[in-house]
With several copies, the nearest count.
Chain A
Amino acid sequence: MLAESQGVERLHTSGLLLDLTLASDPQLLCVVRAAIERLTEVSGFSPPECRSITRAVDEAVANVMRHAYGSSPDKRIDVSCKRIAGMVNGIQREGLEIELLDQGVPFDQKKLTARSLDEVKPGGLGLHFIRDSMDVMEHSHKDGVNRLRLVKYFSAEGKGQTSQGE
């Protein structure tokens, strides 16, 4: 389901598509969802893919608000969306890359092993949703900036896919 950067060769990113910068206020999550939902639609993803990419970005932004910024509502979050294309595991693919940037508490890599779903308890679902939705999920931290890179490729039949396919 999730290829955590393994086998992902150098991808070519397009120029500007859409960047959002927002305050870390949960009231703005619906704004982010609305924008990402439309962006995925015009990009040519299927309705379930649009919903699932939107969910992943929503959960990732909510995590930054809660965990990286400890729920302070006036910190800065950047969401940068680009079209990408290139060879992935020897296959020519196109997709949408969404990067989240924040200057909050660095991500604890140990937390990346999301909890088991067998137990019925509230919380700890966000990372599951993100992994499940996206083809690539990469965290990095540099110069005080946390970066979460999410990629969703177009499926072989997808609009954005080149003819080279699978």
Chain B
Amino acid sequence: MQIAARRLDQVTIFDITGHIDLANSPELRKVLLKELKETKTPRVILNLTGVRYIDSSGVASLVEGLKAARDQGLRFILYGLSPSAREVLQLSRLIKIFEVFDNEQQALA
């Protein structure tokens, strides 16, 4: 898994690639929480286009990111969910907790 941050004017985009599972979800959590602390934009977007798989520990890391963002009053947006990633958020009934969009254009709108 790789994470890179693009800091734009009003929004920070995290481009994540690779599978998110028990092997790297602790790292995702750490990086997300650290990056969120430094985030001064009102909106945070996770680009998951390059993520084919997310396990339950990855979902947990996303929930932690969402909570941290909310604590700071930031919007926390996901886009580019693979079929498997979408299913996992649906199964955990979290799809409605997150703001989910299809692509970057919609996430930025």
Contacts and interface: CB of A to CB of B under 8 A. Distances in A.
**Direct contact between A and B judged by beta carbons closer than 8 A:** yes
Interface of A: 26-27, 29-30, 33, 47-48, 51-52, 55, 58-59, 62, 65-66, 117-118, 120-123, 125-126, 128-129, 132
A30 B21 CA distance: 8
A62 B93 contact: no
Given A52-B87, A125-B60, 15 more contacts: A47-B83, A58-B21, A58-B55, A62-B22, A62-B56, A62-B57, A117-B92, A117-B93, A125-B56, A125-B91, A126-B56, A128-B56, A128-B91, A129-B91, A129-B92
B92 A123 contact: no
Question: Which secondary structure dominates chain B's binding surface?
Answer: helix
B19 interface: yes
- The 4 A-B pairs of least Cβ separation, nearest first, read A122-B60, A125-B56, A26-B23, A26-B22
B21 A26 contact: yes
Main secondary structure of the interface of A (DSSP, over half): helix
Given A51-B87, A125-B56, A125-B60, A29 B23 contact: yes
Contact of A122 (B22, B63, B84, B93): B63
* Tier of interface size on chain B: 20 to 34
B19 A30 contact: yes
A33 B83 CA distance: 15
Contacts of A26: 21-23
B108 interface: no
B94 interface: yes
B97 interface: yes
Contact of B53 (A33, A121, A128): A33
